[in-house]
Amino acid sequence: MKKVRVLHISTAHQPQDPRVVFKQCQTLTEHYDVFCAIPHGNPAITPAIHFISLPYFRRVIWRTLLTCPFILLRCLWLRPNVVHVYVPEFLPFAYVFRLFGAQIIYEVQENLHKKMHLKTLNNGFLLTKAFRLFDQLARRHFYLIFTEHSYLTAYPRLVKPFAVIYNYPLLDFIEAFRKPYRPNADQPSFFYIGWLSFERAFDTLVGALAQLNAFYPVFTMHLFGRRLFTEADLTQLPGFKAIRENLYFYDYTDQRIAFTHANGATAGLALLKPVGDYADSYPTKLFEYMALGLPVITSNFPLYQAVVEQHNCGFCVSPDEPAQVLEKLIYLIEHVDEARSMGQRGRQAVEQFYNWTSEADKLINFYEQILSGA
């Protein structure tokens, strides 16, 4: 029997994106014929998905003028039953697929109503107006998926059904990288994966590590993610020059490479400041560290505390206080057995409550609901 055809579209994500590719698209291949239009898509990533390679532009204006029309020309002939859109710039183009009978899902992965003003790129009066217009239209005409319950406060009175599908770890994917917790107490290392910015408390982290240098001068900080600051910004941070050689910047990296550097780490860090929607949104890396068996150090937001303190798998600290971060770093270095136990409790919590299995079921059920005409 011929499978129903679905098309996932992003002009911005990487072809190894964990949620889009390895969680959602791969989950759906068990039931549907899945196509994924994504920058630099490559069938070698996972053969079960039909990739359509797109050009990548950092600026939304070029994605809108060049990439989005290209997607229409390349993908309309597919006649998909469902089109799953991950970026707001494609919303006006999604109506063309709708005219041809497709059901449209718009996935909200960040609350841009709270974060737009923080963006140094792809911001401006016209872009903001366009986003608000088509975001409002999407609420009326499309099905929506949210990655956080808190986003619902910005999206009241939705016309069509919606689903909240958290970005919890895919344990089968992470299991290959989970190793016994054996940190080096004399030469500790730490692990971070995600965007790097001052809003994500990178300045606080540098301040803490600069103080740690006095106690453990031979430490390593592995930093995987795109930097949203310049080299000049870095050199102006107090203490940065003293620890420059201790910091390893890898830029955006496939998780299958990045997670190998978590082996031997003392802790995983997930510090964010109370700006935008951060205090209301789970950082995916928090659960990834827990899945890897690492104790975590994260921000003292109530949402995060409800996870970390309930399961006693790390520490929640002020993201503006380097001294608090330093204190917990030293504690984990000097209390290896307790740190190991924290990592084990975090792993158990992910296995029980925070893994992709339940979210995959919600995704499949939502697709079935849409295709049944609900």
The pLDDT tens digits for 54-83 are: 999 989 899 999 999 999 999 999 999 999
The pLDDT of residue 85 = 98
Closest to 194 measured CA to CA, from 100, 296, 123? 296
The pLDDT of residue 2 = 79
Q: What is the pTM of this model?
A: 0.92
The pLDDT of residue 6 = 98
248: which strand partners? Answer: 222
Using CA atoms, how far apart are residues 237 and 247, in angstroms rounded to an integer? 14
Question: CATH 3.40.50.2000 region(s) of the chain?
Answer: 5-168+355-371, 172-352
Q: How confident is the model at residue 116 (pLDDT cuts 50, 70, 90)?
A: low
Tell me which amino acid residue 145 is: I
Burial class (CB in 10 A: 0-12, 13-18, 19+), 102: buried
The predicted-structure confidence for 8-65, as pLDDT tens digits, reads as follows 999 999 999 999 999 999 999 999 999 999 999 988 888 899 999 999 998 989 999 9
Q: How confident is the model at residue 112 (pLDDT cuts 50, 70, 90)?
A: confident
The pLDDT of residue 301 = 97
Q: Which of 22-31, 127-136, 209-218, 307-316 has the lowest mean pLDDT?
A: 127-136
3-state secondary structure of 110: coil
The pLDDT of residue 132 = 85
Quick one: tokens of 39? 């920058």
Residue 191 has pLDDT above 80, yes or no: yes
Residue 302 has pLDDT above 90, yes or no: yes
> Contacts from 50-54 at CB under 8 Å and sequence distance 24+?
51/15, 54/11
Q: Which of 134-138, 298-302, 330-334 has the lowest mean pLDDT?
A: 134-138
> Would you state the CATH architecture of domain 5-168+355-371?
3-Layer(aba) Sandwich (3.40)
Residue 194 has pLDDT above 90, yes or no: yes
In contact, 28 and 102? CB cutoff 8 Å: no
The pLDDT of residue 40 = 94
Residue 374 has pLDDT above 90, yes or no: no
**Between these two residues, 198 and 131, which has the higher pLDDT value?**
198
Instruction: Measure Cα distances from 320 to 165, 206, 251, 324 in Å.
Output: 30, 11, 24, 9
What phi and psi values does residue 267 have, to the nearest 5 degrees? -160, 160
The pLDDT of residue 10 = 97
Average pLDDT value for residue range 84-98: 96
Kindly give the residue spans of alpha helices, DSSP state H, lying in the chain: 26-28, 60-62, 68-75, 91-99, 112-115, 125-141, 171-175, 202-212, 231-235, 240-243, 255-258, 284-292, 302-311, 322-334, 336-352, 356-371
Please provide the DSSP assignment of 24-49 as one string: IIHHHTTTSEEEEEEET--TTS-TTS
The pLDDT of residue 121 = 56
Q: What angle do CA 161, 285, 166 make, to 5 degrees?
A: 15
Closest to 22 measured CA to CA, from 148, 178, 167, 223? 167
The domain 172-352 is placed in CATH, from the list 3.40.640.10, 3.40.50.2000, 3.40.50.300, 1.10.1660.10, at: 3.40.50.2000
Residue 119 has pLDDT above 60, yes or no: no
The pLDDT of residue 219 = 97
Average pLDDT value for residue range 105-132: 73
The predicted-structure confidence for 276-297, as pLDDT tens digits, reads as follows 889 999 999 999 999 999 999 9
**Between these two residues, 115 and 269, which has the higher pLDDT value?**
269
3-state secondary structure of 135: helix
The pLDDT of residue 179 = 95
Q: H or E segment at 83?
A: strand 82-85
Quick one: tokens of 136? 């409002």
